Structure 1
Amino acid sequence: MPLEDGANARRDQAVDWLLRLQQAPADEVLRAQFVQWCEADTANAKAYGKAERVWQLTGRLAPATSENGSPATAPIAANTAQPRLVARPRRVRRWVAAAIAACLVVALAPSLILGWQADYRTASGETRDVTLSDGSVVQLDSHSAIAVDFSGQRRDVRLLVGQAFFKVTPDKSRPFHVRAKAMQITVTGTAFNVDLDRDGMSVAVQNGSVNVQDWQAGRALASLVPGQRLSYRGGQADLATFAPTQAAPWRQGQLIADDLPISEVVEQLRRYVPGLIVLNDADLGAQRVTGVYDLRKPQAALQAILKPSGAKVSRYSPWLFVLSR
């Protein structure tokens, strides 16, 4: 077996032990088997220690290993094959259970709230075309959601998360409004993309024209024509130009980075990965990349983004990716 395959197999075993121990912390037989696995090969204990440290990055658990990477259990007695295990106090077990429950609530709450607010939404890796009652079409990117309010003389859509491409049916008597945080886009008939991320928002026009304003501050920001993109972050508006056909490259399964920080590109890729991407290295995140990446293969895209900097992607489960040098 190649060395890399052996290391991957050991890593997978370590993650499996970690999950089993977390699910049954009071199972002494399981803990004894775990100790035997660690002592069978020092590489096993090191693999477990690394898996545990990575898992801690998500805030999921307290350490179960000592500082040198060995399992944090009582030493094995000379005349027995079983380790002397110290029973975990009942109130500590209750505290751990409560902490896990709290983590689940924190993790699930945003999704539940989004479910209540959204009229249309997509899951990670899913795209969707929505035809509104006026004939306008909204294409939702992966992990995106909108709320629709058509009443009287108004056509209002609110982008709650992610990004969407709008093809608006012309109607001069009923302007079409899209809100994304503080930004409001007003059109009568055009095609444009709106992108909402953690730090701000942007609008890019493919054809027609749009008026953009900060509706909270009550001030106009810009009037955009085809090939113009407005980014709005921290109250600062930045205008850029591009080829109109590239208003929404995600529709062709592409992510285009033009001298962008790795952290920003990774933030965009998070929409397409059904799990957690951990990037805790600020220096690595600040390095800049240029390229075209395939959104249909997000893990390969991550690896391509990191390759110029000599960094790597470590996959610890289908739901956990760690970026490091």
Structure 2
Amino acid sequence: MKKVIDFPDGSTIEKQAVQWLIKLDGDEVLSPEEHAKLQRWLARSPTHREELFRLAEFWNDMNVLSELAVPLDRQREAGYRRLRWLRPSRLVVAAAMIVVSVGLVLLIVGESPVDSNGLYATAVGQQRLIALSDGSNVNLNTDSQIRVNFGEAYRDVYLLRGEAHFAVEDDREVPFRVSAGSGRIRALGTAFSVYVRDGSVDVTVSEGSVALERIGPAETPRETGAIAQVPAAEQFVRELGTLSAGQVATIPSLADTAGQTETLSNFGSIEPQEMLRRLSWTEGVLLFSGEALEEVVSEISRYTMAEIEFTDPEVGAIRIGGRFPVGETEAMFETLESSFGLSVTYLTEDRVLISAGN
């Protein structure tokens, strides 16, 4: 194995936003280099932009932020109130805000089974915790969407895209079912994650157990986007098996099964360390243990709007390991340059080229 590098734990997005506000509030105008760096920071994900606006808008007595300092496209700018500058007397308070804002999540609490029904989504780079009306929790990963449809006799959640982790409140009288792709996961008092990609559904069980099922149109099974949208009476449902804590499996897309609809792939047990790695995103970090840089970048790309490319396959084969805070793409680039001698070039604000150093 080639050299493995541990990523340093960089500042949180909240801390970085405060640091930028302090710089913008200073007496000196940003240099061209700092201005370009700010633009790269803002372009990493919608979360970065929203955090800067959130902190700036928190105070009522701020001066107007100049468009030159933080230029945004008109469509995004129209969606926010005018930004204002922090007064020096507020900077200490704003910095202190990060202590309580780190890890802050949006909780949506209902009082009846249907109160939490509806659509919930995250943008690229966002994560969101949702408390459902039955006491269950859903942790949405980046660029994900669910539809909740609770009733008196059922608790149905549809994972329309992306990845989610479910901590299910036990209620054997009212089944909790997650439909994704052409599969369905029935919880048996448990915690598990579901990830939809290319029509296949990856399931990881960390607590309890789940029953896996194949669902689809009764006569001619086919994929129709994120989930087959046909009346239940016209669907076939086939048992695929049960997963217990520490086990994983993939429900392949119907297109990949060649008619073998009872087939599971990648079924097996995983070590606790691998389970920790798979679920690390729920703690706001990504864990790597010697994966190729190309694989690392593929995973990190889910959390940023930037397009990351390699000039040489050998660069993408470099092995990477360690903790990587979600949203800290810049920290990765700095580490690759300082520890590996690689060159990171911004072709545009949202297109990055990684190449061998000189």
- How does the TM-score come out when normalised to structure 1? 0.54
The aligned residue for residue 141 of structure 2 is 141
2:174 partner SS: coil
Is 1:301 the counterpart of 2:332? The answer is yes
Counterpart in 1 of 2:121? 121
1:131 partnered with 2:131: yes
Which secondary structure state, in structure 2, belongs to the residue aligned with residue 135 of structure 1?
coil
- In the alignment, is residue 241 of structure 1 matched against residue 266 of structure 2? no
Say if 2:150 is the partner of 1:150: yes
Q: Tell me, what secondary structure is at the counterpart of 2:124?
A: coil
Query: SS at the partner of 1:195?
Result: strand
CA distance in structure 1 between the partners assigned to 2:303 and 2:241 by the alignment = 31
Q: Per-residue deviation at 1:172?
A: 0.8
1:226 equivalent in alignment to 2:245: yes
Gaps of 5+ in 2: 1-31, 40-117, 222-236, 258-263
Tell me how far 1:297 sits from its aligned partner: 1.0
1:245 deviates by 4.9
Query: Which digits, 9 at most, give the CA deviation of each residue in 1:25-78, with x for residues without a partner?
Result: xxxxxxxxxxxxxxxxxxxxxxxxxxxxxxxxxxxxxxxxxxxxxxxxxxxxxx
User: 2:190 aligned with 1:159, yes or no?
Assistant: no
Shift of residue 176 of structure 1?
1.1
The number of aligned residues is 215
**Who is 1:315 aligned against?**
346
Retained in 1: the 8 A contact 2:301–2:307?
Answer: yes
Aligned mates of 1:267, 1:194 — CA distance in 2: 18
SS at match of 2:194: strand
**SS at 1:250's partner residue?**
helix
Q: From the superposition, tell whether residues 261 and 155 of structure 1 become closer, same or farther in structure 2 (CA, over 3 Å).
A: farther
**Secondary structure of the structure 2 residue equivalent to 1:215:** strand
Distance 2:157 2:309 in 1: 32
Letter in 2 for 1:242: E
Residue 288 of structure 2 corresponds to residue 257 of structure 1: yes
Asked if the contact 2:181–2:199 (Cα under 8 Å) also holds between the matched residues in 1, the reply is: no
Match of residue 189 from structure 1: 189
Which is greater in Rg? Answer: 1
1:208 Cα deviation after fit: 1.0
Structure 1 residue matching 2:297: 3-state secondary structure: helix
SS in 2 for 1:119: strand
- 1:158-196 CA-to-partner distances (Å, cap 9, x unmatched) read 222221111111111221111221332111321112223
Which residue number in structure 1 is paired with residue 215 of structure 2? Answer: 215
Paired residue type of 2:121: R
Q: Which has the higher helix share?
A: 1
Q: Compare relative contact order (CA 8 Å, sep 6+) and give the higher one, 1 or 2.
A: 2
Query: Shift in Å at residue 254 of structure 1?
Result: 1.9
Q: Distance in 2 between matches of 1:279 and 1:186?
A: 41
Alignment of 1:66-77 (within 5 A): none
**TM-aligned CA deviation for residue 307 of structure 1:** 8.6
Asked if structure 1 preserves the Cα contact closer than 8 Å seen for 2:188 and 2:208, the reply is no
Per-residue deviation, residues 101-152 of structure 1 (Å, max 9, x unmatched): xxxxxxxxxxxxxxxxx71111223221112222211111222211112234
Contact 1:129 1:140 in 2 (8 A): yes
Secondary structure of 1:130 counterpart:
strand
2:277 and 2:286 in contact (8 A); partners too: no
Whether the 8 Å contact between 1:250 and 1:295 is mirrored in structure 2 is yes
1:262/1:305 contact within 8 Å kept: no
> Match for residue 179 of structure 1?
179
CA shift at 1:275, angstroms?
3.2
Q: SS at the partner of 2:149?
A: strand
Distance 1:287 1:192, change over 3 A: same
| TM-score under structure 2 length normalisation | 0.50
Q: Post-superposition shift, 1:223? A: 1.6
